[in-house]
Homo-oligomer: A and B are copies of this chain.
Amino acid sequence: MLEAIKKRRSVRSYLDKDVSDEDISALVESARLAPSANNMQPTRFIIVRSPETKAALVAVDHDQQWMMQAPVIIVAVADPSGWADRPLGSYEQGAPADEQTPGLYLKYIIRDAAIAIENLLLEAEDRGLSTCWTGWFSQADVRPLLAIPADKYVCGIITVGYSESHPQPRPRKDLAEILMYETWAE
A93-121 contact mask (Cβ, 8 Å, vs B): 1 or 0: 00000011111101100111111011101
Are B101 and A181 in touch, CB under 8 angstroms?
Answer: no
* Complex: A132 Cα to B48 Cα, angstroms: 34
Interface size on A, as a range, is 35 or more
* Complex: A8 Cα to B122 Cα, angstroms: 15
A162 interface residue, CB < 8 Å from B? no
Are B2 and A1 in touch, CB under 8 angstroms?
Answer: no
Are B110 and A147 in touch, CB under 8 angstroms?
Answer: no
* Complex: A33 Cα to B121 Cα, angstroms: 13
Are A46 and B180 in touch, CB under 8 angstroms?
Answer: yes
Residue of B nearest to A107 (CB): B110
Are A184 and B46 in touch, CB under 8 angstroms?
Answer: yes
Copies per assembly: 2
Q: Can you sample 14 A-B contacts with CB below 8 Å? A: A1-B30, A1-B123, A1-B125, A1-B126, A2-B123, A5-B119, A5-B122, A25-B175, A33-B172, A41-B178, A45-B178, A46-B180, A99-B107, A146-B182
Given A5-B30, A31-B178, A39-B170, 11 more pairs with CB closer than 8 A: A2-B126, A5-B122, A32-B178, A37-B135, A43-B178, A45-B180, A46-B181, A46-B182, A47-B181, A101-B102, A147-B184
Which of A's residues lie within 8 Å of B, judged by CB? 1-2, 4-6, 8, 10, 25-26, 28-35, 37, 39, 41, 43-50, 53, 77, 99-104, 106-107, 110-115, 117-119, 121-123, 125-127, 133, 135, 146-149, 152, 155, 170-173, 175, 178-184
